[in-house]
Structure 1
Amino acid sequence: MKNLYRGLAPAFFAMILFLFIRVANDVPMRRHYWDGNSLNFILKEVLPLILASYPMMAIQLFWVKWCRKKGISRWREYGFIILCTLFLGTVIMWGTRWMNGVTLNFYDTPIPIVVGVLFVGFSYSFLRNQTIQKAYEVQRLQLEKIKNDQLQTELKFLKAQYHPHFLFNALNTVYFQIEEKNEIPRRTLEILADLLRYQLYNEGDKVMIKAEIDYLKKYISLWKLRSTERLQLQVYFDEALQEQEVYPLLFVPLVENAFKYVRGEYHIKLNMYLKEDRLYFYVENTISDMLPPLQQKQGIGIENLKRRLELLYPDNYTLNIKKEKTLFKVELVLKL
């Protein structure tokens, strides 16, 4: 029903405009337009106006959106619409008179032109107000959504803080219950506690890259404890990476992905180095010919990483993921 209304609206507008022109033109001069002209004559005047109303409506729709996008002043905005109305009005009057074999008289043009400009100006103002109202409504809904998202994020952040605190305290309790001679379990808990502490107190702000590297080294050592003895690990961190700042925990999903899905020859290679103003992080792990389903889809962790990079480093990062027959390669480049 709405589409039908939109399709007929320009034609309806053209008919109303034609009636007003006839009233404004004929009543003061006591003309009898409907009685004095044939149906064929009237149709030749009405149909071109109806047909012209559709491109005119399209022009108005395009122009109102363009003006809002470019911030064009109201005088220029309405000036363009008036010029279009004058041009189309003149063409329509000349064309209808030509089809009916009547010479266009200069004195016949002012009233139709004035009425046409007023009508088109009114319709454009109505369309403009509707567009502004819709944009305002969309803005309002977006603002409400942002507020709701912020509230949900804050709630999740508070919950996320509670759980690590609880787990951190539980780890300390377990740590002191383990006998001192059991060095491996105690060392494992120490590493896990350090990792939790880093995650807990480095949520959003940038950190020095050397702190992130220390975290990655502990994270890698924790994974090594649970990995097979067949694992061959090559790790390189550029010594030039010290005081530079990055957002925390961006590299963890790539390291986790490598350890989680390493297969075949069980070889993992991790390189992090600085080149000019860019940080390069390269991870490579061997895989079997038949990948697990999650790595075939790049994993949830990598998908979340992509979203974080879009928010934290818009247009300042590249993430290249390449799968070969027995290798899975990822390279992340950040502009510092």
Structure 2
Amino acid sequence: MKLRLLRFIGAFYLFFIFSETLRDIMRYPERWQNQNFDTARWFLGHLQSSLLFLAYALFSYLFLYYYYKKISKTVVFVALTVIAFGTIGLRYVTEEVIIKAITGYGNYYEGTTVAYYIVDNLYYAMLYTAFGVCWFFVHYAVVRDRQQQELLLENKKSELAFLRSQVNPHFLFNMLNNIYALINMKSDKALVATEKLSQLLRYSLYETDKLVTIENELDAVRSYIDLERLRFRESVQTTITAATNVQHIQVTPFLLMPLVENAFKHGVVTDATQPIMIKVQTDQDRLEIEVLNAVATREKDEVGGIGVENLKKRLALTYGDDAGMSTEVIDGQFIARIFIKLKP
């Protein structure tokens, strides 16, 4: 509050000097054309009045600061009017009663009526009360905008956290089904699958709230493929191509996993002529990821499930316009592409 008041007072005096100088030049141009005119003395002569002018602005600002959101706009208007006329009365008592009693001099000529004093001070009342009102609403707009941005950020974080929480149960559910199938077949590979799953769960639990390297993400994908390889009696056909310069690039976690899951769910996984292909490379200032798989004829529903849609939303929330994702089916091949603009 102190810092705001110091800024307020500083801005007020800049406005006061500008407005009073402009007003004085317009009323007494010959005075300012006089080379012997003492501007410092002129300012000191106005300093006493400026303290009371400050009261117009300060009282209106403080009133709005504490009560604007608590009362109706009609009451605000009435209250500001009362503050303006009340400050006129305060100035009259200060200059024409107290100071005059002490020094013998007032700010107005002898015989000035109260009515004339009030009318003559309406200019200052409106000008400096308006300054206080304008200052409050500018500050209020800035604060509201900041609060709105903070609210949007919190909503974005909450939505992103919700989307991430969807990834893990969805992924875990699929893996438990895989292990259940191995156990049902009385396969000795069930223990190996359980170990692989524990590694993936560790990655899932401890890496989802921060960025991870492409290297870590690919390691998780390889573990997932190993689990799927244990489940399928026939060999799983996959190829992973990653440029050496992408290994340490950091990305949001579980970037590849939904696409690979989608490929196993909807694609051909055991045909050596049509392997699941995972490519990660850079093109100038962009990271490019591509996952390609042949669409299995057994699938009747639309290719791409909750994992793919979830990933699109997470990319938008995390990277905004700096990332994008596209999916298409060409000649029986489902192709998912992701690009992320790399920061210099």
TM-score tier by shorter-chain length is 0.3 to 0.5
TM-score w.r.t. structure 2 length?
0.45
After TM superposition, the score normalised by the length of structure 1 is 0.46
